[in-house]
Amino acid sequence: MPERTLIIVKPDGVQRHLTGKIISRFESKGLKLVGAKFIQISPELAQKHYAVHKDKPFFEGVVKYLSSGPSMVMVWEAEGVIAMARKMMGATFGFDAEPGTIRGDFGCSMRYNLVHGSDSPASAEEEINLYFTDEELVDYDLSGAAWLYGTNN
C-alpha cells in the first residue's frame, strides 16, 4: 500500500532557485506527486507545524525561518516514500549531509536546511492535513509504476 509524505521546499530553497531541482530529484526517483502549492506560511501555521518542538530552545527560530518567505509545499506518494524521501534529503544540515543527497549537494548551512520531509506515517498525516484538504490531493495511476516497482510481470 503506498504511503504519503509532506515535502516542503523551505524559504532558503525557494530564494536560492532550487525548487525545480529539488522537485526533479523526487520525480526522477519515481515518486508520485499528488498535491502541490506555492504559499507563504504564516507564523501561526509554522507554530502548528513545529508544535512538537514548542518547548525546545530553537522553536521560535524555526517558526521565524519557515514563515520568512514563500515555500513550495507538496505531497508525494509511493511505497516506502517516507524513508526514501528522508534518505534523499540527507542529514538535517548540509554541513553534515552526504554528497548525493539534496542537503549534501545544495546546502552548507548549519542553520538553514532547504527542505522538510515528514518523519513517520503519523507526522505525515498530521502535516498533510495542516496544508491540504482531501479535495486538493489528486488520486491517479502513475503510468510507469509497474516499471518503477518491478511489478510488470
Q: Which residues are catalytic?
A: 116
Does residue 105 contact residue 114 with C-beta atoms inside 8 Å?
A: no
Report the side by side order of strands in the sheet with 70-78. Answer: 32-40, 70-78, 3-9, 115-117
Is residue 76 within 8 A of residue 14, CB to CB? The reply is no
Question: Could you tell me if 85 and 5 are in contact, meaning their C-beta atoms sit under 8 angstroms apart?
Answer: yes
Closest CA to 103 of 119, 115, 85, 117: 115
